[in-house]
Amino acid sequence: MPEPIIFYDIPGNAAKDKAWSPNTSEAFLRFNLNIKGIPYRTVWVEYPDIAPLSKRIGAEPTTTNPDGSGSPHYTLPAIYDPNTRTAVAESLAIARYLDRTYPSSGPTLISKETDALHMAFVQAFRDAYLPDAGQLFLPASCTQLNPGSEAYFRRTRETWYNAKLEDFAPVGSEKRAQHWKGVEKALHTIKEWLEADGTEKMNVMGDRISFADIVVVSHLVWMRLVLGPASEEWTDVMKWDGGHWARFMAGFGKWETVDVGTEVEAEV
């Protein structure tokens, strides 16, 4: 029996919802592990601790800092697999690693013949959805974090975007209304992609789940988390496209389980 993979995740504010990180990429990985049925345990890591943790376990930086300095930027999600003594960061890279290393565990989420198509889908989804969704949900994500992470998140994002988070999409503003129209249009466009042959589909690959579906549902989980499941805005989203997105999310409910997790450890 293999040892559980260590999944490094960012905790939400315990007073709100620690179970799901207000970071969409972490949701990608949690769904990935749950769907494949791979044993894992969560270790919670606050934002200022991500770089030291990544260096310690041997996870490579995933990009460079958006501040223009060219310095390495370390991000979560990341995993450490004690069975292979391997650390991997970045959602797509981890998904490929899990498919390759544990081929008999659950479905293959990025099959070799669809790897390039998955890359294209992820980029197309981001281009359609994130310009408006980021303006709406990044400020709300900040309030879901613990104090140390909240301060780090605010400082870095306001530097990157050269704007106060509160100015992104103020409640009641025309700017916010326009961003909501953009989010609705983006989700409708994605639904049209799924229905290119004229029939309603829940999954990008038709009758089987793939990483592309995890990308979509993870962003919806992010939206639900920051808006609140009882909010008027979230209720409206679940009615869009004739209730398509409510039906889509219902199909993933059984994979939303989260372990209690522990705080970041001194060493692997």
Closest CA to 38 of 9, 11, 1: 1
Measured CA to CA, the distance from residue 254 to residue 76 in angstroms comes to 24
User: Tokens in use for 55?
Assistant: 């260096």
Residues pairing with 258 in the sheet: none
Measured CA to CA, the distance from residue 210 to residue 110 in angstroms comes to 6
- The owner of tokens 């679940």 is 238
- The answer to whether the CB of 98 falls within 8 A of the CB of 33 is yes
Specify the pTM.
Answer: 0.89
Measured CA to CA, the distance from residue 59 to residue 129 in angstroms comes to 29
Q: What pLDDT digit, counting tens, does each position of 96-154 carry?
A: 999 999 999 999 999 999 999 999 999 999 999 999 999 999 998 888 899 999 999 99
User: Tokens in use for 188?
Assistant: 């409708």
Measured CA to CA, the distance from residue 45 to residue 239 in angstroms comes to 35
Please give the chain's pLDDT, 268 residues, in tens.
579 999 999 887 754 444 556 566 778 889 999 999 999 999 999 999 999 999 999 999 988 877 777 788 899 999 999 999 999 999 999 999 999 999 999 999 999 999 999 999 999 999 999 999 999 999 988 888 999 999 999 998 998 889 999 999 998 899 999 999 999 999 999 999 999 999 888 999 988 999 999 999 999 999 998 888 999 999 999 999 999 999 999 999 999 876 655 565 544 4
Q: What pLDDT digit, counting tens, does each position of 17-34 carry?
A: 445 565 667 788 899 999
Residues pairing with 88 in the sheet: 79
CATH class of 1-267: mainly alpha
Task: Count Cβ atoms below 10 Å from residue 153 Cβ, excluding itself.
Answer: 24
User: Tokens in use for 144?
Assistant: 């879901």
- The answer to whether the CB of 149 falls within 8 A of the CB of 46 is yes
Pairing of strands 78-81, 5-9: antiparallel
Closest CA to 34 of 95, 96, 125: 95
Dihedral pair phi/psi, residue 16, rounded to 5°: -115, -75
Measured CA to CA, the distance from residue 161 to residue 39 in angstroms comes to 38
Taking CA atoms, 222 is separated from 200, 207, 248, in Å, by: 24, 25, 15
- The answer to whether the CB of 148 falls within 8 A of the CB of 47 is yes
Extents of the domains making up the chain? 1-267
